[in-house]
Chains A and B, each alone.
Chain A
Amino acid sequence: SQQGEEDPQALSIQEGENATMNCSYKTSINNLQWYRQNSGRGLVHLILIRSNEREKHSGRLRVTLDTSKKSSSLLITASRAADTASYFCATERANNLFFGTGTRLTVIP
């Protein structure tokens, strides 16, 4: 069974708006990674955040981690049509990556 869940399952926004996706997980983790997947393609790594970190930035991306609530969020600022994709969080435990169910983001030009 999958470790986590993303919320919402689908999100549709206008270009230029911000998009926020949330991820919840069930057990203690070493780190959490966010990935993007364009339709039918492989996963592209976005950000890794370690369990002792609370926030991390990369370009237009901001990831937060709250280990007490077992949750993480991914914020994409000033979204672009090219950001249209599915976004997954993945938690690592015992040499295994557990993926969430994913959020399908559509950015309308």
Chain B
Amino acid sequence: KAGVTQTPRYLIKTRGQQVTLSCSPISGHRSVSWYQQTPGQGLQFLFEYFSETQRNKGNFPGRFSGRQFSNSRSEMNVSTLELGDSALYLCASSLEFSGNTIYFGEGSWLTVV
């Protein structure tokens, strides 16, 4: 069974640009969540989707958005990139978020210059 797949793995963007990251969950998983990892702030929750609905959102500005498609694949978008958005963005999937093992992808490394 394939794991959680994230694309692209590495990307470099310029301040002010926008970026879209993609996540394909494990087959059959309907919950997809996103996290940002930085050396200073550690792992922080961005948002969680289930059946195309955002159920929870972390404390991030509105420049961070996401969506989930009917096949459970998810994308997150960051607009007007800032240097501080440089981070490892991790996607995770589970059958249903609560009470289940949550599996992570390898992440997308974003560098903003």
Contact = CB atoms under 8 A, between A and B. Distances in A.
Interface residues of A, number: 24
Contact of B35 (A31, A41, A97): A97
Given A2-B42, A31-B99, A102-B42, A96 B56 contact: yes
Q: How large is the interface on B (under 10, 10 to 19, 20 to 34, 35 or more residues)?
A: 20 to 34
Contact of A97 (B42, B45, B50, B105): B45
A79 interface: no
A45 B103 contact: yes
Nearest to B97: A95
Given A88-B43, A95-B48, A42 B55 contact: no
Interface string B77-113: 0000000000010101000011111111111010000
A30 B99 contact: yes
Contacts of A83: none
Given A96-B48, A99-B43, A45 B104 contact: yes
Contact of B106 (A42, A88, A96, A102): A42
A101 B44 CA distance: 10
Interface in B17-71: 31, 33, 35, 42-45, 48, 50, 55-56, 58
17 contacts: A33-B102, A35-B104, A42-B4, A43-B104, A90-B102, A92-B99, A95-B98, A96-B33, A96-B56, A96-B58, A97-B35, A97-B45, A97-B102, A99-B35, A99-B43, A99-B44, A101-B42
Interface of B: 4, 6, 31, 33, 35, 42-45, 48, 50, 55-56, 58, 88, 90, 92, 97-107, 109
**When A and B form their complex, which 6 residue pairs have the shortest distance between CB atoms, in order from nearest?**
A99-B43, A43-B104, A42-B106, A95-B56, A42-B104, A95-B97
